[in-house]
Chains A and B, each alone.
Chain A
Amino acid sequence: MTGTRLSRRALIAGAGTAALAAPTFAGMGAKLGGMIDLALPGGPSLRPTTPAFPGKGEMIVQRIRPPLLETPMAAFREGIITPNDRMFVRWNWQMPTEVKAADHRVAVGGAVTKAVSLTLDDIASAGETVSVIAVNQCAGNGRGLSQPRVTGTQWGNGAMGCAKWTGVRLKDVLAKAGVAAGARRVRFAGLDVPLTDGAPQFIKSIPLDIAMRDDVLVAWGMNDEPLSILHGFPLRIVVPGWFSTYWVKMLATIEVLSGEDDSYYVADSYRMPAQPITPDAKDFPTVPITTMPPRALITSHEDGDVVKLGKPLVLEGIAFGGDAALDRVDLVGKGWEIPCTLGPDEGGPYAFRRWQVTLPQVAGDFEGIGVRARNVNGAVQPADFAWNPSGYARNVIERITLRAQ
């Protein structure tokens, strides 16, 4: 089945691309691994894929500089861990392409007892080394599927992945400086900076109570390997259950704030309408994107796949609970739903978990079926898409149609 799908789903071999090429793609065949169709409504929907980034396998190219690389859905077909060479890559500003470990420092300052400048060894010895398995998902994952479409990085659903993150607790690093009375938030900055003077630096902050959680890390390890440059060498913040915009990479500064954060990427960007709006709405109140809602995806089949009439059908996929453990996954169609069987809890509450459901006999086409996740807090994926102007936090039930033959 896989071979059929690949040819039909426009995963076109690089050599074949040249024959189809319009001027945009002229001469790029040699540089490319292939093309993939993200099924973005209204297009453009085809994206080049490349294995050319060091340490990465075949990735969907959304942008070269600064890199935006999407994970092909095929990478989610097995297991709960996304391999490092398939994890999505997202940078707001250009990052340095070389970092000297011995020269790197993390400044801890602001509302602290004593500002300090820490070496990597200082960080590594700040406390117990701990690991957490957690989904890392871009706030804009699935933006390209918004209808009406919105501008920004046109991600399909591959701006996410699940990894084992290893480091020390942020609170142990903060203890090296001592959090002062009246502290409210903790802000992070990395080595990625704007090219132009006066443009906002990509800095993000989290409330102090989140910063002090036992599972919020200053991490150097990703799936038992050191972080690569693309994933934030030497250190990145890990906030399980929160969108990855807060997981600041190439960590260089930790700033304790005694008030609210009025910086651009917290006060003006990465925000959602406080209440549902329509696409023509103007001047509505907004709230920051913070925790992730639950999601589930079918990974065994794609939209338009053909299934065998009269035979049993096994559907499989991944799900996660967002900021709380996954509770259940249901397969939903028009007017019916069937509970799915969850795979073993291998990674804890913030990890991917596999699900499966067997339909005893295919009696006809499956029109617009999807899977719906619910977490233990009762948050459940909505049937209707809640449009927002930046395409954030998509978690509508993703539906596909299967043809019976």
Chain B
Amino acid sequence: MKRLATIPALALLLAACDTAPAASFKDASLTLPDDPLDLPEGPGRDAVIENCTACHSPSTMLQQPKVSPEKWKSIIGKMKTLYKAPIDDAAVPAIVEYMVHVQSQPEPGA
């Protein structure tokens, strides 16, 4: 009985064979490409560049679903309180304005 019980576990583990990679570790490195998207012109763009782009590449910012200005304000608040982002309080209205602006534009290519 005991032997039988071990069979399912063994069946899904293929014992190492000649196709498995040898565990010899070589140094690895990587160069990340540039972001294919740029932030379009719009009110508050400078505030976004100064406060957001250190962590967020434009692609991820421009691909969010449309949400309310209040939601953007709360997201910026989360970045400050939880992720300790050094965001200038005075810049928050401009960041919100920019995000609402870019989301009001027609989708490129659509």
Interface residues, chain A, CB within 8 Å of chain B?
10, 12, 17, 20-28, 31-32, 35, 40, 42-48, 50, 52-54, 61-65, 67-68, 97-102, 104, 120-121, 123-125, 128-133, 144, 149-151, 153-154, 166, 194-200, 214-215, 220-221, 224-226, 228-230, 233-234, 240, 264, 348-350
Contacts and interface: CB of A to CB of B under 8 A. Distances in A.
A229 B36 contact: no
A54 B30 CA distance: 7
B41 interface: yes
Interface centre among B30, B35, B38, B60 (most CB of A within 10 A): B30
A216 to B, nearest CB: 11
19 contacts: A25-B37, A26-B38, A31-B34, A43-B65, A46-B110, A48-B37, A48-B59, A54-B30, A61-B59, A64-B34, A65-B57, A68-B60, A97-B31, A97-B32, A99-B27, A131-B14, A154-B63, A214-B13, A350-B12
B20 A226 contact: no
Given A63-B60, A129-B16, A151-B75, A42 B66 contact: yes
B63 A65 contact: no
A199 B83 CA distance: 4
A67 B60 CA distance: 10
Given A62-B63, A199-B84, A234-B28, A22 B16 contact: no
A130 B15 contact: yes
A28 B37 contact: yes
Interface string B60-87: 1011111100010001000000111110
Nearest to B28: A233
Contact of A348 (B12, B25, B106, B108): B12
Which 6 A-B pairs have CB atoms at the shortest separation, nearest pair first?
A: A124-B23, A149-B65, A129-B16, A52-B33, A101-B25, A23-B40
A195 B55 contact: yes
A199 B28 CA distance: 27
A43 B110 contact: yes
Given A21-B109, A46-B110, A101-B25, A215 B32 contact: no
Contacts, number: 201
Contacts of B60: 62-63, 68, 153
Interface of B: 9, 11-16, 19-21, 23, 25-41, 54-57, 59-60, 62-67, 71, 75, 82-86, 102, 105-110
A120 B79 CA distance: 36
Contacts of A31: 33-34, 36
B21 A226 contact: yes
Contacts of B107: 22, 43-46
A226 B82 contact: no
Given A24-B108, A234-B25, A98 B30 contact: yes
Contacts of A35: 109
A195 B86 CA distance: 11
Contacts of A102: 27
A318 B72 CA distance: 37
Given A225-B21, A226-B25, A196 B16 contact: no
B34 A215 contact: no
A242 B18 CA distance: 28
B84 A220 contact: no
A61 B62 CA distance: 12
A167 to B, nearest CB: 8
A125 B22 CA distance: 11
A133 B37 CA distance: 36
A53 B54 contact: no
A220 B86 CA distance: 37
A67 B32 contact: yes
A282 B11 CA distance: 46
A55 B11 CA distance: 31
A101 B20 CA distance: 19
Contacts of B59: 48, 61-64
B105 to A, nearest CB: 7
B100 to A, nearest CB: 14
Contacts of B102: 24
B12 A215 contact: yes
Contacts of A131: 13-14, 16, 20
A185 B90 CA distance: 43
A64 B85 CA distance: 19
A34 B85 CA distance: 33
B108 A25 contact: yes
Contacts of B63: 44, 47, 62, 154
A240 B9 CA distance: 12
Given A62-B63, A129-B16, A200 B82 contact: yes
B109 to A, nearest CB: 4
